[in-house]
């Protein structure tokens, strides 16, 4: 009998896991032995050819069997570099390990090491190794998503030790379904992903687990859809005078794609069931104009709209954009953030509750928890990756608002329909016409001065620029201090003589607004910023961006950051600065290469799904799709279809009930943190 509770045991119960390892595993999202079992290798190493030092060639991967002559370590910034001179009968070479300080005392002269890696211009960069007589480096070995300070070897040993628990996972699929599609048992699949006999076996195992995962998702979506069918909304009368005036007031003509989305939204708003529509479009494609239209439709009907953003900065940014246009239209907008004083907040709540305010803008948390609307008819939810918020607090007289979800993390339309299941999808596929694609370059640290020279050339031509500070681990305060220090350093060095401002999450609202306003007005040349500028900031005259230590950011995050430039008609540039490629992890390299190769958000989203999983992305934003551990959306379309059919037949409903519940519960809490 399976004992699912065995999988709930914390990782500390395993031999070799103390507080330090537990913390490192925690950063990968691994807390229990079950999590460890579900930690999917990102690829497998097949046996590499064993060579002698003299026979190393080019950059070909190889295995060396050598003896340590001497070893030494040094630090460069955060990087710990361990170098060992190693030799075999044909010669000697310098081998390097990054961030594995614990290894130093074990590399005493005379120690035998088998190591796998690649020759590079410094010698030999080690990717995996065995001390003494083990032979793991030559096996068909899993390579796990990991952090710089957690060795593959540790993960391999730990996963090996939990494989015996695989039978405790149980089996949601009946034998009839399994045999029809020749699917392995779930338990065998868990063993198969960690210890496959071949690439094919690994892939079969992965697909089995992907099917379970997609089935869970489909069951959840089906439940959600059933619940929604019972909701009633206020149908809105057709667009009229205010909608027309809005088009007049806008400083541009809406694009065909924007008009198409608006048409679809108008259709939804006329119905007595609440709209549940996903508006997806790349960064800068012009979603906000569509969102404001939707909100104004509520106001026009004598009702209210709410715009919910994930962060305070974004809420403020939206407020400023909306307020400018709404003032011309005579529509009152209120901003609700936690930085209001108690008295300001009471006043704002009062205005919303009395109906004096037509549109309320705020964070998800505030609007959902605290605000009573006189007559909420439309809610726009920005950058909400999951199924979307529920409207608990927003319910008025048993009626639900029409909801528009906006996301700039697009996934292909057919997949969106399946993954979001119960949402209708509108897509803004083409940005406003006159934009030129942003030119992106990847520059290594030694040459960052050239990047600043380039940036200054833009400033001298009257343009503006962003410099994005490195992510630092730790509190928001620490991050803020690092940003301030960096701004001061740049003012004294690379950017001497220019007007440099700084924004970060620790500024008071008033201060942050003042800096942003000065930058927008052209009173600052450069904005040094943390990722608070990731979304929403919109200054068309800013044409160049430098992202420092770009290797530490996630792909979605880099794409969002890059979207801050290229907003006007000028050619824009994004310069990604990182350590030397030899010192980067494989996934960091893949991310930066992806950024250089395309500006297409859809393509990057797919690449991201392929690459993702590396734990060293401090502060990487969670998206709903991160929860798909095993699915590869592009390759698994057939599984999506199968999962849908199975869910319609109720297969696995009882077995997966808890997981479905958890998924729905999490979805509800998104945005409240």
Residue of this chain nearest to Mg ion (CB atom):
288
Looking at beta carbons only, is 574 or 651 nearer to ligand ADP? 574
CB 411 within 8 A of CB 336: no
Q: Which of 61, 127, 94, 148 is nearest to 614 (CA)?
A: 148
Q: Which lies closer to ligand ADP via its Cβ, residue 147 or residue 429?
A: 429
Phi, psi of 123 (to 5 degrees): 145, -110
Residues at the interface with Mg ion (CB under 5 A): 288
Closer to ligand ADP at the Cβ: 170 or 540? 540
Nearer to ligand ADP, 28 or 574 (CB): 574
Nearer to ligand ADP, 212 or 570 (CB): 570
Q: SS3 of 180, please?
A: helix
In whole angstroms, the minimum distance from the beta carbon of 558 to ligand ADP comes to: 15
Nearer to ligand ADP, 541 or 626 (CB): 541
Q: CB under 5 to 8 A by kind: which of Mg ion, ligand ADP, none does 284 bind?
A: ligand ADP
CB of 285 to ligand ADP, least distance (A): 4
CB of 533 to ligand ADP, least distance (A): 13
Closest distance to Mg ion from the beta carbon of 206 (Å):
35
C-alpha separations of 69 from 93, 110, 111, 569 in Å: 10, 6, 8, 60
539 binds, among Mg ion, ligand ADP, none (CB under 5 to 8 A by kind): none
Tell me how far apart the alpha carbons of residues 240 and 299 are, in angstroms, rounded to a whole number: 11
Rounded to whole angstroms, how far apart are CA atoms 541 and 465?
Answer: 8
Contact criterion met (CB below 8 Å) for 308 and 379: yes
Nearer to ligand ADP, 291 or 500 (CB): 291
Residue 567 binds: one of ligand ADP, Mg ion, none (C-beta under 5 to 8 A by kind): ligand ADP
Cβ at position 445, least distance to Mg ion in Å: 31
- Nearest to Mg ion of 288, 464 (CB atom): 288
| CB nearer ligand ADP, residue 307 or residue 469 | 307
On whether the CB atoms of residues 239 and 262 are closer than 8 A, the answer is no
Rg (CA), the chain: 27
Which does residue 117 bind out of ligand ADP, Mg ion, none, counting CB within 5 to 8 angstroms by kind?
none
Q: How is the chain split among helix, strand and coil, in percent rounded to 5?
A: 45, 20, 35
Q: Give the pairing of strands 62-76 and 79-88.
A: antiparallel
| Alpha-carbon distance values, 321 to 53, 288, 325, 347, 365 (Å) | 63, 9, 7, 22, 21
284 to each of 408, 536, 539, 564, 600, how far by Cα in Å?
9, 9, 11, 8, 12
In DSSP terms, 68 is beta-bridged to 86
Min separation Cβ 567 and ligand ADP, Å: 5
Closest CB 556 distance from ligand ADP, rounded Å? 13
H/E run at residue 155: helix 152-162
Residues that bind ligand ADP (CB under 6 A): 252-255, 258, 281, 283-289, 408, 432, 538, 540, 567
Partner touching 281 among ligand ADP, Mg ion, none, CB below 5 to 8 Å by kind: ligand ADP
Q: Which does 254 bind (CB under 5 to 8 A by kind): ligand ADP, Mg ion, none?
A: ligand ADP
The β-bridge partners of 84 are: 71, 95
Least distance in Å: CB of 42 to ligand ADP? 30
Shortest CB 407 distance to ligand ADP, Å: 10
Residue 421 — left, alpha, or beta (φ > 0 → left; ψ -120 to 50 → alpha)?
left
Total residue length of the chain: 673
Count of Cβ atoms closer than 10 Å to residue 167 Cβ: 18
């Amino acid at each position: 009998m399976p004992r699912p509770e065995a999988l709930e045991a914390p990782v500390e119960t395993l031999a070799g896991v103390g507080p330090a390892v537990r913390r490192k595993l925690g950063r990968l999202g691994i807390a229990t032995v079950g999590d460890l079992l579900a930690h999917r290798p990102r690829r497998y190493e097949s046996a590499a050819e064993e060579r002698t030092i003299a026979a190393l060639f080019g950059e070909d991967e190889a295995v060396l069997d050598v003896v340590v002559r001497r070893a030494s370590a040094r630090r460069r910034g955060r990087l710990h570099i361990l170098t060992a001179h190693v030799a075999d009968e044909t010669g000697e070479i310098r081998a390097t390990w990054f961030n594995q300080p614990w290894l130093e005392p074990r590399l005493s002269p005379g120690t035998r090491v088998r190591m796998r890696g690649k020759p590079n211009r410094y010698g030999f960069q080690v990717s995996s190794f065995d001390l003494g007589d083990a032979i793991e480096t030559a096996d068909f070995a899993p390579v796990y998503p990991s952090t710089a300070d957690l060795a593959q070897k540790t993960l391999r040993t730990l996963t090996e030790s939990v494989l015996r628990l695989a039978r405790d996972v149980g089996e949601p699929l009946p034998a009839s379904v399994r045999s029809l599609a020749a699917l392995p048992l779930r338990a065998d699949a868990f063993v198969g992903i960690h210890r496959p006999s071949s690439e094919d076996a690994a892939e079969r195992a992965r697909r089995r687990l992907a099917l379970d995962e997609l089935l869970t998702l489909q069951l959840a979506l089906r439940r959600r859809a059933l619940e929604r069918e019972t909701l009633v909304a206020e149908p809105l009368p057709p667009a009229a005078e205010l909608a027309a005036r809005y088009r007049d007031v806008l400083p541009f003509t809406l694009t065909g794609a924007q008009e198409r989305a608006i048409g679809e939204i108008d259709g939804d708003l006329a119905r007595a069931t609440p709209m549940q529509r996903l508006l997806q479009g790349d960064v800068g494609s012009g979603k906000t104009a569509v969102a404001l239209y939707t909100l104004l439709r509520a106001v026009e009907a004598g009702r209210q709209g709410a715009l919910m953003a994930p962060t305070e900065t974004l809420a403020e940014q939206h407020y400023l954009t909306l307020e400018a246009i709404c003032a011309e239209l005579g529509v009152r907008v209120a901003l609700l953030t936690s930085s209001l004083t108690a008295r300001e907040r009471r006043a704002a709540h009062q205005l919303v509750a009395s109906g004096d305010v037509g549109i309320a803008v705020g964070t998800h948390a505030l609007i959902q928890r605290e605000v009573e609307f006189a007559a909420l008819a439309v809610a726009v939810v920005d950058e909400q990756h999951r199924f979307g918020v529920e409207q608990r607090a927003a319910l008025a007289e048993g009626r639900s608002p029409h909801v528009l979800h906006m996301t700039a993390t697009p996934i292909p339309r057919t997949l969106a329909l399946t993954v979001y299941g119960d949402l209708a999808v509108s897509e803004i596929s083409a940005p406003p016409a006159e934009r030129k694609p942003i030119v992106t370059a990847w520059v290594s640290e030694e040459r960052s001065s050239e990047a600043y020279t380039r940036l200054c050339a833009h400033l001298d031509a009257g343009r503006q620029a962003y410099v994005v500070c490195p992510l630092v681990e730790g509190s928001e305060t620490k991050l803020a201090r690092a940003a301030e220090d960096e701004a001061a350093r740049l003012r004294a060095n690379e950017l001497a003589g220019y007007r440099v401002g700084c924004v970060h999450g620790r500024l008071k609202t008033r201060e942050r607004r003042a800096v942003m306003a000065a930058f927008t007005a052209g009173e600052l040349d450069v904005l040094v910023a943390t990722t608070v500028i990731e979304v929403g900031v919109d200054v068309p005259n800013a044409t160049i961006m430098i992202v420092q230590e770009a290797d530490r950011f996630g792909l979605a995050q880099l794409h969002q950051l890059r979207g801050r430039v290229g907003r006007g008609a000028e050619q824009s540039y994004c310069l990604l600065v990182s350590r030397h490629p030899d010192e980067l992890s494989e996934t960091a390299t893949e991310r930066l290469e992806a950024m250089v190769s395309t500006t297409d958000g859809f393509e990057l989203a797919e690449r991201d799904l392929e690459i993702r999983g590396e734990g060293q992305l401090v502060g990487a934003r969670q998206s709903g799709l991160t929860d798909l551990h095993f699915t590869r959306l592009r390759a698994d379309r057939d599984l999506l279809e199968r999962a849908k059919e199975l869910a319609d037949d109720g297969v696995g409903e009882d077995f997966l009930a808890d997981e479905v519940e958890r998924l729905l519960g999490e979805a509800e809490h998104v945005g409240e943190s």
